A and B are shown apart, each in its own frame.
Chain A
Amino acid sequence: MKRILSFIILVIIISSTSGCSDYLDIKPRGTDVPHKLSHYEGLLYGGDISVLFIYHYGTFEHTIDAAGFSSLYIYERYNAAKAFQWQADIFRSDDQCSEWNDICSRFYTYNVVVNEVMDADDGTESQKMAVRAEARFMRAWFTYMMAQFFGKPYDPATAATDPCVPIITESSTVGTDFSRRTVKEVYEYIITEMTESLPYLPNRPAHIKRIFNGAGNAMLGKVHWMMGSYDLALPYLEAAKSILNSDNNKGFINFGEIIDKESGDIYDYPNTNVSPEAVYSIMGMPNLWTAFGAMYFGSPLRTLRPDVIHTYFNSSDYRLAMFSGVETWMTAYADFDPQVRYYTNMTVMTSDEGITLPDVYLMYAECLAREGELGNAKQVLYELRSNRMPAEEANVPSSVSTKDDLIKFAVAERIREQFGTGITWYDMRRLWDDPLFQDLKQYYTRTDGTDSFTLTKERLTMKIPPSVMIWNPDYVQND
């Protein structure tokens, strides 16, 4: 009897333990599946790529000699060396390419947000729309960046046939359709996405990891500006400038206040994270730079072209404090001497591939100049320059009188502002066929000590790396 009783009890135990199917549905701690608004919002900034490694053929501001080329080769191997020589094939078949891969990795995340946030469990419709707008903006911005590497510079005559980058709007690791779209299609996509999303962008203070309406206007302006549609860019840049001007967090760093006028050293230069000049920040790391790393400070790799520095800068320009003499260990501000080899002071300089306040001012000034609003353009340039040099020199020189002069002056100011950072590369692409800037090409020849190499128009566009080609055999390779 006892036996039968215990047997019955056991059957009950068994059936009760095996019956609970919820047992396997526990959610392990530490991870989650995105389902809340805060998850989607957090995906926009939590997965930030702090550094984008860029091989865009280095920067024309740098010179090199035989010894420099060797050390480039040691620290960066063939890729950077080939990029320095403006060669077409800089990647081996198994080399990963940051310009393609890292940008695509952001698309995966942004597509998750764009496609799923409206179904989030919580949040209001307008909150969701704001997050979605921000994600669409980021996606469009990175498509724009990718187009700068792998698509030809925008030319209305050929844009409809020039191959560009894929437009990726789905998140899938097994997806297959990544066909290259034309330059026209890609830019249209970028502008449509940004224009549609702009009204939903939040109106909050600028933050280097978030897109708000100020940054959004600047981005939209920059895309038009990059396409050469200066008239279309103008209203966005104007709006961006005005929003940023009213933002208490943002403003210029007055270089005059952080330079020791005696030693020429620069103090207390803020980190990008807290810099009032950073608007939406993507740290770029031109691969030539990694060779300039601290391993070897005096490396000839980092030597700035003396002809450029002495052509563009006045000795009173505070920005010269950003450059140091190889032998003298003094900044170019303290000792501006044609005989001294200067290199970029990596301890303060960064290469921001996103949006900065000076960038907005300079684009705006250039657009104003191109639209013939010379007075306004000069005023905008003055506002920037007065934070970069003694007040008495900040005004645009009177010698700059014509429209063309002012356009060239605005671009020269860009070169000064971005000197040594590699950002000038994008102007080199944009202005390649601009008749006003053909004289810049004199600086596009460089030497490794034995041979010299000259930039060609084809190389304004990177070839699709073999590690991408192998997965997309139908791609038409760039020249």
Chain B
Amino acid sequence: MKKPSITRIHGRIATMLLLSVWMMCLSISVQAQTITLKQTDVPLETVLKLITSQTGYKFVYAESVIDTKQKVSVNIKSSDINAVLNAVFKGTKITFTIAEKQVALSLRKEAVPTQAPAGLRIISGTVTENGGSPLIGALVSVEGTSIGTYTGISGEYCLNVKDDPQINLTYRYMGMESHTEPIGSRSRIDVSLVADNVTLDQVVVTGYQTISKERSAGSYAIVGGAKIQDKAISRGSILESLEGTLAGLNVNLGAEGDKFLIRGITSINSNRTPLFIVDGVSIPSEMIERTLSGNDINNVTVLKDATAASIWGAQAANGVVVITTKSGSRNEKTEVTYNGSFSFRGMPDYSYNDMMSSSMFIKNVSEEFDPVGYPWESMTTGVVDYAVLPHEIPLYRHYLGEISKAECDAELNRLSGLDGRKEYEKYFMSNSWLTNHSVSLSGGSNNQTFYVSLGYQGQQGNSKEHTNEYRINARENINITKWLNLDLTLNASYGTDKSNLNQFTIDGNPGATGLPDLPYVVFYDNDGSELSLTNYLINESVRTPAQSLSGINLDYYPVTDFNNTTRESVSSNIRANAGLTIKIIKGLKYEGRFSYYTSSGKSETYTPSESYNVRLDRVYATSQDGTTYLPSSGGYFRGSDSYEDSYTVRNQFSYDNSFKEGLHQVTALLGQEINQRKSGNNSSTMRGYDKQTMRSIFYDDYFIDVEGVPDPVLMKIGSGRNFFDHQRYNQGETTYRFVSFYANAAYTYNNRYSLNASIRVDQSNLFGSDPSIQFKPIWSVGGVWNIRREKFMENSSWINDLQIRTSYGFAGNSPSPGQGGPYNIINATSDPTYSEFGLGYVISTPANNKLTWEKTRTWNLGASFSLFRNKLSGSLDLYNKKTTDLLASSPVNPSTGYTSVFQNIGIMTNKGIEISLNNRNFSLRDFVWDTGLNLSYNVNKIVEMYFPAPASPAGYVSKVYVEGLPAQTLFAYRWAGLDPADGAARVYDSQGNIVRNSDDIDDISAIEYMGTTVPPWSGSLTNIFRYKNFELSFMFVANLGHKMRNDTYYQSDHRFTSNIHNDFDKRWRQPGDEQYTNIPSFYKMADANERDGGGQFYGSSDINILDASYVKLRDLSVSYYLPRNVCQEINTRSIKVRVQASNLLTMGFNKEGIDPEAFSLRGGARYDRYKPSISASLLIEF
């Protein structure tokens, strides 16, 4: 262990050699560094400075311990740092340790005085990382003073302090959370530091500037990259993993609804998503997921109120999410990090869907078999999409006297015994999993820093689809001169996607819309040969003549078809971001930025010639006389391309200076920006396509679209001729342009009082160039009071930080291009019927010169605090957002020619409170327990609707926006029980009379408001326990106070062509059943006008409104840090192994077993639900 540091460096080089040749070059230059020094009797500090200037090594020491004025002599040539330092300190009491280009100086053990001078106490101990490996060079200081020391090679320290039990020691180490400990009466204090996961950053990043937290009046929340990194790589999404980490940002992982909402819904039909910013430039959220890996994130800031967001102008009315990516640090040795994970999610839990098993299905459909309403003759003649299904055939045949009851039952029993779902999962589904790997390198020298990462993500979905994504991300920061700085970022990703198609149709042919959803459908017989399922689609009586006339077989083999169809797509994304900073004079800087991204996708779907759908189309296209109007060979092909590109050019001047020794601090910003976003797509479709030669066969598209195939051997629905959509090339494109001017300023007096103001004007191409509509400045004002800095708080022992802030501002949302403006906008149409006249046109958007911006005014009142020696910190915000001139499509007088147009329709408010708390509950040597709580409560209300739309009772039940109520309302009929006579659903009208039909309800007051589907309460609770090298963390998320519609059986038809909700088995069958069931009886077609038509009465009644609140244990993870000595042994800095389980526990507040995240709250339908997913990840830092 003579030269421990150098040995380590060598070892690392060996590791890195394997990684990259380029890295090797860098490392060698480190190793090659030698020192030549010749000095006689000079102060120690002079020598240390010389060494620093030659090598970049920095010295850390406590001035109270090391006497740097003492004279030393040295004469050494071309030696390494160890040799030089040994020579320098020869004859002194000083010893040294080298770590991370830092040299920590301390006194030799024997030199430590054992007896403290009077009034002082000697305190010693060790500082370790997670209770394990020692931390070398950790700073131990007396709180509030400059007295301190650094830990030595085994993490030990020794410090003289005033003998006062009230004194606190603070322990700090880069990348670790600092820790404060009162000395009490102890003389030995051992401390374990933990990785810096929880501490809030001290600055606010708005994307345009970085301002210190204590000077910003805005309401924001910040999370460090380390906190979301693990979740992001397990989940495969950076933005989703923000869930629960930022108060006020609501991440919805449910099957429907807005994915990201900041402080409630502020728009009905216009944009509701926050603006996403990466490294100062706005970018679509999909681009973030595609180009960045979880461990590329440095931190994420959410800007919530007007002051915070107004700098982003017109696009920021819904809040802003600012992401900063990692960059290297100056004078840092190159660090290499590997991060990998594997997550397993499996298949959806079918039992959650509440559908019938084969036997239950057969039992129920036999009970309701109706050969009178659906006579055999009409069921078997002529129609394509109406086939007598396998379970009906024995029932009909028995009814017609062709087979006996026993024969019929035997066939039904056979069907009851088949498990179609099991087969379906076997042949059409797969387990879903996700794997993620990334390697990053970062480092820097005096004049430049760099960060490079390489990432891979692989995924398998539930329908045998696979995706691969490769990413590279590089960031470089160069100091060209003292006053000129340049930064460059390049992200690139490439992805592939491969899947099969359940069905491929060009026209959406009836009869081929998908696999029959019947529980007894199996795909292979007992001998293993594939079964043709054509009988489920076309009656044999129709099919047989069509087959013989066309000579085309119509057997349908779903598994073969599925496996033969392909969908292949590739996508690529590139993003470049370059910035230039020029220091002009003291405090004044110019910053220029250019950012560009481009993304393109290409997808090809192909259904081969032999597929059922292609054959079926060929039959449809064949006339009785044998003429075929579609190619007799070749498959169906669709190629589509999409592209998106965007650039931003920004010029800004910023001024940051303070006067009178910091009494006045001024920060100001003035800038201008132009931005263009262009996206488009095109697709072309071909019939008769040969995949290998990439050619298609010519046929007469005009004829089959305009004239139609005459006298076809098999008729499509509804006309004497069969028509096919003509195939062509389609193209679409959208361009957005913005020109913006912005300015903001912050002034702080005496570090106590700050005022912020900002203004921004955005002009866009969205409205045309009418200046009266264009000029809509977005502005805000705000103030902060740092109470803790006041004289009267100076001596407060328990308040470490306290500030109160308030802000008010104005933001807006403009309509998208084509949504409205002063001109009639026309689209071209190209119906071949009038192709002789040229293109046709339709008015796609009528002119509306009264349309204005949607305006949101926001008040915010907030407080941030840190208490009890920073153990408890947090913030509390109250806000009131009022949005006027809501943009939405809303009814107008139909005599205008439109029943609804996009217009300004009303006023909505969002009032709420947000609490964010972080507390260190417990901390003792090796054990730490932290808790974080985010809670938000938002009350949404539609205050006014300018044009209330008329509604009948039946229409009112499904209203979503109603004046005086929150958005996304749920209404219900008042349930009056089943009719004892026939089991029909009944409800009350407004007078309390029982009615059986929605048309008989007298007034909308009979319809009751039941709540909203948007949760007013949402929050998360995170607990982290650390013991030695272990860390246990779990997060609960909760969404509370909202409602949903139960999923119920409802009768839409009088015959069963697909599986049924298993509630149907509990339906009313005979008088008296109404005592114990609310499920209405099944009714025949002949009774339809006696019943509630579509059968929705029951499902839309108040007994089927459920509490949608839930609490989930979103994730639980256990991490283990390998002990430091083990890491050193294998030449790594640290190794972390982590296992995470997601959604282990769901507590719903409904009795139906519904997981509101796997549910359509409004529609009352279940979506796929998964069992808890498990993931394992590995983090290695070299």
Q: Mark A256-275, 1 if CB is under 8 A from B, else 0.
A: 00000000001111110110
A173 and B735 contacting across the interface, CB-CB below 8 Å: no
Q: Report if B895 contacts A (CB, 8 A).
A: yes
A24-B1085 contact given A42-B841, A174-B848, CB 8 Å threshold = no
Chain A residues whose C-beta falls within 8 Å of the C-beta of B893 in the assembled complex: 175-176, 178, 468, 471-472
A108 and B896 contacting across the interface, CB-CB below 8 Å: yes
Please report the C-alpha to C-alpha distance between residue A42 and residue B951 in the assembled complex, in whole angstroms.
37
Q: Report if A39 contacts B (CB, 8 A).
A: yes
A7 and B582 contacting across the interface, CB-CB below 8 Å: yes
A77 and B840 contacting across the interface, CB-CB below 8 Å: no
B733 and A168 contacting across the interface, CB-CB below 8 Å: no
A14 and B707 contacting across the interface, CB-CB below 8 Å: no
Q: Report if B732 contacts A (CB, 8 A).
A: yes
Please report the C-alpha to C-alpha distance between residue A31 and residue B819 in the assembled complex, in whole angstroms.
12
Q: Report if B659 contacts A (CB, 8 A).
A: no
Q: Which of A262-291 contact B (CB under 8 A)?
A: 266-271, 273-274
A7 and B720 contacting across the interface, CB-CB below 8 Å: no
B897 and A69 contacting across the interface, CB-CB below 8 Å: no
A271 and B382 contacting across the interface, CB-CB below 8 Å: no
A30-B843 contact given A23-B739, A174-B850, A348-B720, CB 8 Å threshold = no
Q: Report if B70 contacts A (CB, 8 A).
A: no
CB distance from A273 to the nearest CB of B (A): 5
A32 and B826 contacting across the interface, CB-CB below 8 Å: yes
Q: Mark B838-850, 1 if CB is under 8 A from A, else 0.
A: 1111111011101
Please report the C-alpha to C-alpha distance between residue A190 and residue B1103 in the assembled complex, in whole angstroms.
56
CB distance from B998 to the nearest CB of A (A): 9
Nearest A residue to B716, CB-CB: A294
Of the residues B707, B763, B823, contact of A274 by C-beta under 8 Å: B707
Please report the C-alpha to C-alpha distance between residue A278 and residue B335 in the assembled complex, in whole angstroms.
79
Q: Report if A425 contacts B (CB, 8 A).
A: no
Q: Which of A40-72 contact B (CB under 8 A)?
A: 41-43, 45-48, 66-67, 69-71
> Among the listed stretches A87-95, A370-378, A379-387, which one makes contact with chain B, having 4 or more residues with CB under 8 Å of it?
A87-95
B651 and A466 contacting across the interface, CB-CB below 8 Å: no
B706 and A327 contacting across the interface, CB-CB below 8 Å: no
Chain A residues whose C-beta falls within 8 Å of the C-beta of B824 in the assembled complex: 33-34, 112, 171
A294 and B674 contacting across the interface, CB-CB below 8 Å: no
Of the residues B375, B818, B829, contact of A46 by C-beta under 8 Å: B829
Chain B residues whose C-beta falls within 8 Å of the C-beta of A23 in the assembled complex: 674, 737, 739
Residue among A47, A209, A294 with most chain B CB within 10 A = A294
Chain A residues whose C-beta falls within 8 Å of the C-beta of B954 in the assembled complex: 92
B720 and A269 contacting across the interface, CB-CB below 8 Å: yes
A26 and B737 contacting across the interface, CB-CB below 8 Å: yes
Nearest A residue to B1093, CB-CB: A77
Chain A residues whose C-beta falls within 8 Å of the C-beta of B483 in the assembled complex: 3
Nearest B residue to A72, CB-CB: B1089
Q: Report if B40 contacts A (CB, 8 A).
A: no
Of the residues B838, B847, B952, contact of A94 by C-beta under 8 Å: B952
Residue among A7, A74, A210, A345 with most chain B CB within 10 A = A74
Q: Report if A444 contacts B (CB, 8 A).
A: no
Q: Report if B834 contacts A (CB, 8 A).
A: yes
A100 and B894 contacting across the interface, CB-CB below 8 Å: yes
Residue among B385, B838, B1085 with most chain A CB within 10 A = B1085
Nearest B residue to A275, CB-CB: B707
Of the residues A24, A46, A173, A294, contact of B896 by C-beta under 8 Å: A173
Q: Which of B701-752 contact A (CB under 8 A)?
A: 706-708, 710-711, 715, 717-721, 723, 731-735, 737, 739, 741
A46 and B842 contacting across the interface, CB-CB below 8 Å: yes
Of the residues A45, A166, A208, contact of B895 by C-beta under 8 Å: A166
Nearest B residue to A299, CB-CB: B378
Chain B residues whose C-beta falls within 8 Å of the C-beta of A402 in the assembled complex: none
Chain A residues whose C-beta falls within 8 Å of the C-beta of B842 in the assembled complex: 43, 46-47, 109
Q: Report if A391 contacts B (CB, 8 A).
A: no
Chain B residues whose C-beta falls within 8 Å of the C-beta of A209 in the assembled complex: 833-834
Please report the C-alpha to C-alpha distance between residue A94 and residue B1004 in the assembled complex, in whole angstroms.
12
B834 and A293 contacting across the interface, CB-CB below 8 Å: no
A94 and B706 contacting across the interface, CB-CB below 8 Å: no
Q: Report if A445 contacts B (CB, 8 A).
A: no
Q: Which of A434-479 contact B (CB under 8 A)?
A: 466-468, 470-472
Nearest B residue to A165, CB-CB: B895
A268 and B711 contacting across the interface, CB-CB below 8 Å: yes
Chain A residues whose C-beta falls within 8 Å of the C-beta of B899 in the assembled complex: 96, 101, 467
Q: Report if B142 contacts A (CB, 8 A).
A: no
A100 and B895 contacting across the interface, CB-CB below 8 Å: yes
A42-B839 contact given A33-B826, A274-B707, A297-B382, CB 8 Å threshold = yes
Q: Report if A105 contacts B (CB, 8 A).
A: yes
B843 and A24 contacting across the interface, CB-CB below 8 Å: no
A106 and B952 contacting across the interface, CB-CB below 8 Å: no
CB distance from B560 to the nearest CB of A (A): 29
Q: Report if B828 contacts A (CB, 8 A).
A: yes
Of the residues B582, B672, B718, B951, contact of A18 by C-beta under 8 Å: B672
A28-B733 contact given A10-B651, A93-B955, A294-B383, CB 8 Å threshold = yes
CB distance from B804 to the nearest CB of A (A): 38
B841 and A297 contacting across the interface, CB-CB below 8 Å: no
CB distance from A72 to the nearest CB of B (A): 8
CB distance from A274 to the nearest CB of B (A): 5
A43-B378 contact given A17-B651, A178-B895, CB 8 Å threshold = no
A92-B999 contact given A46-B839, A74-B1085, CB 8 Å threshold = yes
Of the residues B735, B901, B1088, contact of A26 by C-beta under 8 Å: B735
Chain B residues whose C-beta falls within 8 Å of the C-beta of A267 in the assembled complex: 624, 710-711
Q: Report if A172 contacts B (CB, 8 A).
A: yes
Please report the C-alpha to C-alpha distance between residue A23 and residue B383 in the assembled complex, in whole angstroms.
58
Of the residues B385, B739, B817, B848, contact of A28 by C-beta under 8 Å: B817
Chain B residues whose C-beta falls within 8 Å of the C-beta of A329 in the assembled complex: 381-382
A70 and B1089 contacting across the interface, CB-CB below 8 Å: yes
Please report the C-alpha to C-alpha distance between residue A348 and residue B844 in the assembled complex, in whole angstroms.
33
A173-B383 contact given A78-B999, A348-B720, CB 8 Å threshold = no
Nearest B residue to A465, CB-CB: B894
A95-B952 contact given A34-B841, A46-B829, A73-B1088, CB 8 Å threshold = yes
Q: Report if A6 contacts B (CB, 8 A).
A: yes
Q: Which of B984-1016 contact A (CB under 8 A)?
A: 999
Please report the C-alpha to C-alpha distance between residue A88 and residue B850 in the assembled complex, in whole angstroms.
38
A13-B999 contact given A31-B844, A46-B842, A101-B899, CB 8 Å threshold = no
A25-B901 contact given A209-B833, A296-B378, A347-B719, CB 8 Å threshold = no
Please report the C-alpha to C-alpha distance between residue A77 and residue B680 in the assembled complex, in whole angstroms.
42
Q: Report if B950 contacts A (CB, 8 A).
A: yes
A30-B827 contact given A25-B765, A71-B1088, CB 8 Å threshold = yes
Please report the C-alpha to C-alpha distance between residue A29 and residue B850 in the assembled complex, in whole angstroms.
24
Please report the C-alpha to C-alpha distance between residue A12 and residue B954 in the assembled complex, in whole angstroms.
65
A101 and B584 contacting across the interface, CB-CB below 8 Å: no
Q: Report if B18 contacts A (CB, 8 A).
A: no
A13-B651 contact given A66-B1086, A100-B895, CB 8 Å threshold = yes
Q: Report if B64 contacts A (CB, 8 A).
A: no
B837 and A42 contacting across the interface, CB-CB below 8 Å: yes
Q: Report if B87 contacts A (CB, 8 A).
A: no
Please report the C-alpha to C-alpha distance between residue A94 and residue B953 in the assembled complex, in whole angstroms.
9
A38-B765 contact given A43-B843, A273-B707, A471-B895, CB 8 Å threshold = no
A173 and B846 contacting across the interface, CB-CB below 8 Å: yes
Please report the C-alpha to C-alpha distance between residue A67 and residue B1086 in the assembled complex, in whole angstroms.
5
Q: Report if B592 contacts A (CB, 8 A).
A: yes
Nearest A residue to B1083, CB-CB: A70
- Beyond A93-B950, A345-B720, 15 additional pairs, beta carbon < 8 A: A3-B582, A7-B582, A17-B672, A33-B825, A39-B841, A96-B899, A108-B897, A112-B824, A173-B896, A271-B719, A298-B381, A329-B382, A346-B718, A467-B899, A467-B950
State the 3 A-B residue pairs at the shortest beta-carbon distance, nearest first: A46-B840, A108-B897, A298-B378
12 contacts between A and B (CB under 8 A): A32-B826, A43-B842, A70-B1087, A101-B894, A108-B896, A173-B892, A174-B892, A271-B707, A295-B386, A297-B378, A297-B381, A471-B893
